[in-house]
Amino acid sequence: MFKLNRWRPKGRGRTAQTGRERDGLNPRFMRVASMNEVPPGTGKLVTMMGREIGLFNVGGRIEAIDNTCPHNQRPIGTDGLTGGTVTCFWHNMTFDLESGACTEAPHFRITKYPVRVRKQEIYVSPDAQI
Determine if 91 is a binding residue for ligand FES (CB under 6 A). Answer: yes
Rounded CA gap, 35 and 61, in Å?
Answer: 10
Determine if 71 is a binding residue for ligand FES (CB under 6 A). Answer: yes
Determine if 105 is a binding residue for ligand FES (CB under 6 A). Answer: no
Q: How many residues bind ligand FES (CB under 6 A)?
A: 8
Determine if 74 is a binding residue for ligand FES (CB under 6 A). Answer: yes
- How many of the other CB atoms lie within 10 Å of CB of 118? 13
Nearest CA-CA partner of 84 in 73, 106, 100, 68: 100
Footprint of ligand FES (CB under 6 A): 69, 71-72, 74, 88, 90-91, 93
